[in-house]
Amino acid sequence: MKTLVFTMASFANVAMFAAPILNGQTTEARTMNTQGKTVLYAAVGAEIIQYRVERSTASLTKQSAVTLPANVQEAWLSPSKQHLYVAWSNGGASYPSSDGTPPKGDHHGISAFRINPVSGALTPHGDPASLPSRPIFVTTDVGGTNVITAHNDPSGLAVHQILPDGTVGKEIPSPGKLDFGVYGHQVRVDPSGKTVILVTRGNGPTAANAEDPGALKIFNFSNGILSNRLSIAPGGGFGYQVRHLDFHPSGKWVFVTLERQNLLHTYRRTPDGSLDPTPLFVKSTLMKATTALTTQTAASVHVHPKGGFVYVANRAFDTVEFNGKQVFAGGENTIAVFSINQQSGEPKLIQSADTQGFQPRTFALDATGSLLAVANQSPLAVRDGNGARTVSASLTLFRVGADGKLQFARKYDIETGPGRNLFWTGFVSLP
């Protein structure tokens, strides 16, 4: 496997790839031609590994890889279908910490890549844009003229120009004081292009600190400029630890996960790019009620490209001592599958598929909606008779049936270690 390594000095050429589709994109990106080859990208630490996808066997073949200046946080495809923007940082939960508090880091940025339309190989183009803090999520606007990063500490948004050649340009400052809430975790641009939604997670209460409230912060957006519009924070945002959202392709609804509450909220989307502040439906993402003995959280959410189903990742990773070793304490590491009522938008839990690993931080649907890949972030020990064995971090592939349900296909163990977690994955369809 050929690996390309770039430093800040040599990291010239960060930009475009021709005609792909990346999971989690806008409706426009989902509707492009999907008859060509499909590749899967997986970020392990600072490395993005490319896999060829064999659709007939639901299998992966490792191809090339690139290494960024620091650990990959997220990646996003522009509407032009020619640029993959990658957010990276040497801070955050993907790096080890002596006291359990993720380091802030001091090296953060956005880079872009060209994808070979035949092989899917990544080629850098242009200089990365430096950022002042960890970019925890990245997206583009509908027209592909700006790239937007969400930051958690301090909570905020940064908007950068996308230049005509696809490289990342200068930052566009917004006037006035903007309400960024506490702990921005995801940013999405409404399909209308008129608004930007920052999902602010807040922080759960600890023995030392009170709870920080969460909220959906909605901003007007025009020519790269943000201004405050609306804050959705039921109960003042307490008990509202929102994490991720996704849009229904009809434009009628938005689905939002609540991390610590293990809930899926359905909101009505308004034509002007806003949301009704009261959710239409509130559903548990779990098959079983959680207990106080284990940490159980909801993570990413993705709507099926055809709009019939919505998928949510559930994570559990606490350990207990067993014969002198720390082993998994129990809980759900699953993809919850919901069918969506096409008249009301109500989701109904129809399956909870075991991911065959632990901490599925991210997952991806391919553009046809027939394959789903899960990135099980970290290894964990489990009981094995009177001893223990370690279950590796892994990529797990599922086939998606016509009924939306998942059928396990294959699992690929991924080598990880301190500062090298399996942090992101995404499909791309080539011409």
Residue 403 backbone dihedrals phi, psi, to 5 degrees:
-90, 5
Question: Which residues make beta-bridge pairs with 152?
Answer: 155
pLDDT tens-digit series, residues 111-162: 999 988 899 999 998 999 999 999 999 999 999 999 999 999 999 999 999 9
Confidence of residue 290 (pLDDT cuts 50, 70, 90): low
pLDDT of amino acid 78: 78
Q: How many other CB atoms are there within 10 angstroms of residue 231's CB atom? A: 15
Mean pLDDT value across the chain: 90
CB contact at 8 A, 242 and 250: no
Query: Which CATH number characterizes residue 360's domain?
Result: 2.130.10.10
pLDDT tens-digit series, residues 226-273: 999 999 999 999 999 999 999 999 999 999 999 999 999 999 999 999
Question: Which residues make beta-bridge pairs with 62?
Answer: 51
Confidence of residue 291 (pLDDT cuts 50, 70, 90): low
Tally the domains of the chain.
Answer: 1
pLDDT at 187 over 50: yes
Buried b (16+ CB within 10 A) or exposed e, 370-402: bbbbbbbbbbbbeeeeeebeebbbbbbbbebee
> Kind of pairing, strands 3-5 and 59-67?
parallel
Alpha-carbon 142 to chain mean position? 18
379's tokens = 């290894």
Q: What Cα–Cα distance (Å) separates residue 219 from each residue in 146, 192, 229?
A: 15, 13, 5
Confidence of residue 292 (pLDDT cuts 50, 70, 90): low
d(CA 180, CA 196): 12
Q: Which residue has the higher pLDDT, 12 or 150?
A: 150
Q: How many other CB atoms are there within 10 angstroms of residue 212's CB atom? A: 18
Q: What is the mean pLDDT of residues 18-46?
A: 60
Give me the domain span that covers residue 373. Answer: 3-429
pLDDT of amino acid 184: 98
pLDDT of amino acid 97: 76
pLDDT of amino acid 431: 77
pLDDT of amino acid 80: 75
Whole-prediction pTM value? 0.91
Residues 6+ apart with CB under 8 A from 255: 245, 246, 248, 264, 265, 266, 267, 301, 303, 310, 347
pLDDT of amino acid 130: 97
Q: What is the mean pLDDT of residues 317-346?
A: 96
